[in-house]
Chains A and B, each alone.
Chain A
Amino acid sequence: MSVLMQEMGNRALRLGVPLAVQLDLTYRCNEQCVHCYLDHHDHGEMTTVEIKHLLKEMAEAGVFILTLSGGEIFMRKDFFEILECARELTFCIKLKTNAVLIREAQAERLRDLGVESIQVSIYSDRPEVHDAITKVPGSLRRSLSAIRFLKSLGLKVVIANVLMTENMHDHHGVRALAEELGAHYTLDPTVTPMMDGDRSVLGLKAGVSDLHTLFRDESYVGDAEEFCALPPTPTEDSMDSLPCSAGHTAAYVSPYGEFYPCVQFPLSCGNVRQQPFIDIWRDSPQLKEVRSIRLRDLSSCSQCSHGATCTRCPGLAFLEGNMRGPSTADCEKSFARTGIPSKNLLAKKETPSLPRLVQIQLVPAITGSRLSTLDRAATAVSA
């Protein structure tokens, strides 16, 4: 994140402005990815008119960065009508798609409409692995063709590589592919439980041993010794820190109008079909509760040695049953980085085993801000 963007985030926080919103246009999808957290049936999506009305409300509320996602956004026949409306309202538009339905004509329209970036999910550079994850034969070939169209028109493409057991060893191949295509590359070793609470997909998540290796790969994390340093003692400032932007400067709206703090934090705060967007943003008791939570309020994490530097996701904690509780996936990441089990893992007696050859070296204490920057990379490593 640029310094200017960070400044804008801080200003939006002071002003109480929802700077960034993800709007999922549909949960329907033409791929059936093995790790997906969504129910792909249509349970009554917002209509074109409803979405255009919502876009106006969001523009008036100050939303600047609008991520349109799904499901697969191109499954909506009115997608370009919605996109045109959003651009007329001068949103900065980011798209998330599998790109399977993008041909030259669609790519040209995206260019003409001034979309900021298009994020495409690629799981492997090997068709047999990628297509097995999406369950669509030929999907890698089609997604890559689309990326080539988009790049040939000068559009910014981000290849998003979710890492799980099925593709754990393919990330270098995907990254090389991104370089060859002139695309940005983002790696995310997080598998999210289903929105309805079903946790069975978590069986696909990368193991601690694999995370341990990944977090020592300096081509992703920079200085591995710094990245994997022992956590510093939490300070008073860190005890008052905010966990993330969810509900503070960012929000999520589902295809059915449900308003959540974040796509990964399905705490219903209202529905934009029943209330104006700004009323939910300002007055929802659920959002007020989310905004009130500080590290010192977390019974387990405030006592944990990782407290100040952990990437704890409040949404994943919520999906685990308590938004003030720990997020075990993040405990595992902290453990994989440092070799120090979190208070939560110790309480569960679930300390996963690490390769015995690895030594955790003591390094001089580094500042919280440096660590927090590096820690974010543990969740979404960008190259």
Chain B
Amino acid sequence: MSKALYVARSPRIAARKLGEEMLVMSAQGSTLFTLNPTATILWQAADGATPLDEIVERRICSAFDVKREDALRDAEALAGDLAKHGILLLSEEPIGSSSPVKEQPQP
């Protein structure tokens, strides 16, 4: 069984919901992103304490007609992508002030 993956919003980004999408700007590089509704759900639920598979089950599978395995695979890919841009933090342990966080290479 694979280890749980925890996701947290980076404290170094700016974000605001505009209509159905989330505007996100990373301070580093002043790069602007927009998150679609699914990514927005993931972003909003990324509190550092809830494992990704639980977020998928509670927030995504309940809102969309999608198989859990498919949704989890997509969510892991999305989280990895957002982490590469410094938007999300990933860790195999709950993310608090002292927990180790996987540093993601900047694109």
Q: Interface on A for B, CB 8 Å cutoff?
A: 2, 4-5, 8, 11-12, 15, 17, 19, 59, 62-64, 87, 90-93, 114-117, 154, 156
Contact = CB atoms under 8 A, between A and B. Distances in A.
Contacts of B34: 4, 8
Interface string B28-66: 101010100000000000000000000000000000000
Nearest to A7: B34
Given A8-B23, A92-B25, A116-B25, A62 B16 contact: yes
A4 B30 CA distance: 12
B14 A15 contact: no
A249 B17 CA distance: 15
B13 interface: yes
A169 B29 CA distance: 32
Contact of A64 (B12, B14, B28, B30): B14
A64 B23 contact: yes
Contacts of B15: 90
A90 B18 contact: no
Given A5-B32, A114-B27, A115-B27, A62 B14 contact: no
B96 interface: no
B100 interface: no
B16 A64 contact: yes
A11 B25 contact: no
A115 to B, nearest CB: 7
B25 A62 contact: no
Given A63-B16, A64-B18, 4 more contacts: A2-B32, A4-B32, A11-B18, A19-B18
14 contacts: A8-B23, A8-B32, A8-B34, A11-B18, A11-B19, A12-B18, A15-B19, A62-B17, A64-B14, A90-B15, A90-B16, A93-B14, A114-B12, A116-B30
Interface of B: 11-19, 23, 25, 27-28, 30, 32, 34
A114 B16 contact: no
Contacts of A154: 28
B18 A62 contact: yes
Contacts of B14: 64, 90-93, 114, 116
A15 B16 contact: no
B30 A117 contact: yes
Contacts of A64: 14, 16, 18, 23, 25
A12 B32 CA distance: 15
Nearest to B16: A64
Which 9 A-B residue pairings sit nearest by Cβ, starting from the closest? Answer: A92-B14, A64-B16, A114-B12, A114-B27, A90-B15, A92-B25, A4-B32, A116-B27, A90-B14
A17 B32 contact: no
A315 B105 CA distance: 45
A59 B16 CA distance: 8
A54 to B, nearest CB: 16
A92 B17 CA distance: 13
Contacts of A11: 18-19
A114 B11 contact: yes
Contacts of B16: 59, 62-64, 90-92
A87 B11 CA distance: 8
A17 B34 CA distance: 16
Contact of B18 (A17, A92, A93): A17
